[in-house]
Amino acid sequence: MQRLTSWSLSLILLFSLANACAADEAVVIEMSAFKFIPEDLTIKRGTTVRWVNKEKRQFHSIWFREAGEEPGEYLFPEDTYERKFDTVGVFPYVCQPHMDHMRGVIRVVE
């Protein structure tokens, strides 16, 4: 039977921590030029999405209107909003102040 050295154990721990951190990372959607980039995103169930306002002076919001939710708070330049998607489905959303042309959709798969 082979014995693990402290170096081997450290390497295993480091690898495990790196995998755990990678699993917790958010997928980023930028808000720029009055668009969600990307506008259509497919993710696996359990993924967190982070919206980042990259405008220089404009505020935006994230509103899952079709789901019957209340409008989200305004996100000013460099503000972020995160949401974890634990349910499979299609989740359209809009920017409340610009909903006539600023729309996006999250598609959650297994």
Q: Could you tell me which CATH class the domain 26-109 is placed in?
A: mainly beta
pLDDT by 10-residue block (mean), the chain, 110 residues: 48 41 77 98 98 97 96 96 98 96 97
Task: Tell me the whole-structure pTM to 2 decimals.
Answer: 0.77
Can you give the pLDDT at residue 5? Answer: 55
Can you give the pLDDT at residue 8? Answer: 44
DSSP string, the chain: -PPPPHHHHHHHHHHHHHHHHHHHPPEEEEEETTEEESSEEEEETTEEEEEEE--SS--B--B-GGGTPPPPPPB-TT-EEEEEE-S-EEEEEE-GGGTTT-EEEEEEE-
Can you give the pLDDT at residue 29? Answer: 98
| Annotated domain spans of the chain | 26-109
CA distance linking residue 103 with residue 110, whole number of Å: 24
Can you give the pLDDT at residue 59? Answer: 97
Q: Which two tokens stand for residue 97?
A: 């102040």
Can you give the pLDDT at residue 14? Answer: 41
